[in-house]
Amino acid sequence: MKIKLAILVLFAGLTFISCKKEEKAPTNSNTNTGGGGGGGNSPTPSGATTFYGIFTTGNYATITSSVAPPFISSSARAYFSSQSTQYSNNSTAVTVNNVGLNGDTLNYNPSYKYYTTSSSINLSTETWSVNGANGIGTFSINISSSNPTVGSLSNLPDSISISSGFSVAINNVANAGKAYFIIIDGTNTANGSVTKILSTGNNNVNFSASDLSNLTPTSLGYLVVALTNGKAYWISGKDYQFNREAQFTKFIKIKP
């Protein structure tokens, strides 16, 4: 769980807004107008890059080997801020009275300052409800999201060498406004990870010895393929972001 949360926090710092033309507009009922936007079945799309709330749902897979099927779970989290912010920021986080997803109540995590699900959830529908407080309005909204996808990751290596570098194909990336391939050595330091941006479609990802030079050798490193798409809406006078993620994590050895 600690490792999963660390990866989620890292991914949150990489995530930007991306509006997908093919996604349907959500329905929205707004019981606290607070001025501006939203309401009825026609919430107002937003081009904002900073937000008073960030809602995230996702599918998260852990790959233990190249032959075993991945373990997959689905979860959600919601963050609220007293100031408009690009990413979750503990210093500006605020609480609300209640956050629900598909009729289930999310629990507040006081360490990470966001609301989250306690077990794997069904993401075939996505209806958020917020009973607001601390400047956050009360509203509900139904989001229609496309899951980001990627092709088979059975070719991910079991180990990598810092001195040699390596290359890997990451193919069939789709429905992702942003996509990343990340190596993490688990030291939780500024130099403890290396990130490459992935493009839609097929990618040949190359890490040189120079790219990997700041990593620390370990038997408990991991590779992460992280994909996201997102959209934003103006509700009750504030901008909110709604993200759908897919994340694939494989534990590896990082050799000198």
Q: How confident is the model over 93-129, as pLDDT tens digits?
A: 999 999 999 999 999 999 999 999 988 899 999 999 9
Nearest to 81 by CA among 243, 245, 244, 241: 241
46/132 same-domain check: yes
pLDDT in tens, 200-225: 999 999 999 999 999 999 999 999 99
Burial of 33 (0-12, 13-18, 19+ CB in 10 A): middle
Per-residue pLDDT reduced to its tens digit, 124-162: 999 999 999 999 999 999 998 889 999 999 899 999 999
Residue 60 lies in a domain: yes
Q: Note whether residue 220 is domain-resident.
A: yes
Length of the chain measured in residues? 256
pTM: 0.83
Measured on CA atoms in the order 174, 144, 71, 228, is the torsion positive or negative? positive
- In DSSP terms, 249 is beta-bridged to 62, 224
Residues 142 and 165 in one domain: no
Would you give the DSSP letter of residue 209? Answer: H
- Identify the domain containing residue 51 by its residue range: 2-146+230-245
Q: Is residue 253 in some structural domain?
A: no
Residue 255, in any domain of the structure: no
Residue 183 in contact with residue 168, Cβ under 8 Å?
no
Dihedral angle sign, alpha carbons of residues 111, 113, 118, 119? negative
Q: How far apart are the C-alpha atoms of 126 and 24, rounded to whole Å?
A: 13
